[in-house]
A = this chain, B = another copy of it.
Amino acid sequence: MTQQPTAAMLAIGDELLSGRTKDKNIGYLADAMTLAAIELKEVRIVADDQEAIVEAVNALRARYTYVFTSGGIGGTHDDITADSVSAAFGLPCIYNDEAIKRLAENYARRGIEFNESRRRMARMPEGAALIDNPVSTAPGFVIGNVHVMAGVPQVFQAMLANVIPTLQGGVAIISEAIDCPFGEGDIGTELAAIQKAHPHTSIGSYPRFSDKGFNTQLVVRARERALVDAAAIDIRAMIAALQG
């Protein structure tokens, strides 16, 4: 059996921790990983703080197949992701020639001065490969298994679209969601028995709250359709019995 590829995300930015900005990239990456059959195992959010970024990058890249970061790659003094990722790898943070070329051409075409702040957006660890940015030119980069992308959701998404085809996906997970009109207290014991009877599936129970009180969404996941189907039959029978 092939090892399932795994992933972690590191979202970087003071604004995510102050509440000023509500992250939109974590959920987007989670969906993309599920679609690519790569198991997202952990997410961290840290401040614009080099020590915190270095520690998180090194912890995550050692443990998971892929690491994806968002944020902190702009041109101002508080964008420290490139320096921090370079430090995590023990590499010098340099101006990448190809990135400088792309940025210079872009600003020349638009008649905008290519100043030091804009040049900063070409900085990355020596030896990094570029991630194309069709939205606003300034590239992300890949070093080792770490993919460094922008925090602005439109740019993050465009970069991720260029990264996904380069990743080694695993075996797709089949899943089925079943709406259950009962709360977890009504179904917990029987659901545990169903999970036990279907050991090669993963059955999740997600309580939801509405004006009708608590109900749940039950989700069966497995690598094979037949396994999902078999567990789903038992779950539907449990619900039908409760509806008596």
Contact = CB atoms under 8 A, between A and B. Distances in A.
Interface of A: 14-23, 26-28, 30-34, 39-48, 52, 74-79, 107, 112, 115-118, 120-121, 135-136, 151-152, 154-155, 175, 177, 183-189, 191-192, 195, 202-209, 211, 213-214, 219, 221
Given A187-B117, A211-B214, A214-B136, A27 B19 contact: yes
B18 A76 contact: no
B209 A154 contact: yes
Copies in the complex: 2
B19 A205 contact: no
A42 B45 contact: yes
30 contacts: A14-B202, A15-B204, A16-B30, A17-B30, A17-B39, A18-B30, A18-B40, A18-B175, A19-B32, A19-B33, A21-B206, A23-B27, A41-B47, A42-B52, A43-B43, A43-B45, A75-B184, A75-B188, A77-B191, A77-B203, A78-B205, A79-B205, A115-B188, A116-B189, A117-B187, A118-B185, A121-B185, A151-B207, A152-B208, A155-B209
A213 B209 contact: yes
B185 A115 contact: yes
B45 A17 contact: no
A112 B76 contact: no
A183 B120 CA distance: 14
A204 B211 CA distance: 18
- Where chain A touches its partner, the secondary structure class is mixed
B23 A40 contact: no
B47 A44 contact: no
A232 to B, nearest CB: 16
A20 B219 contact: yes
Contacts of A48: 204
Given A44-B43, A47-B41, A155-B209, A192 B19 contact: no
A77 B136 contact: no
Given A18-B30, A20-B177, A79-B184, 16 more contacts: A17-B40, A19-B27, A19-B34, A20-B206, A20-B219, A23-B27, A41-B52, A78-B204, A79-B205, A115-B188, A117-B185, A151-B207, A152-B209, A154-B209, A183-B211, A185-B211
A48 to B, nearest CB: 8
Contacts of A30: 16-19
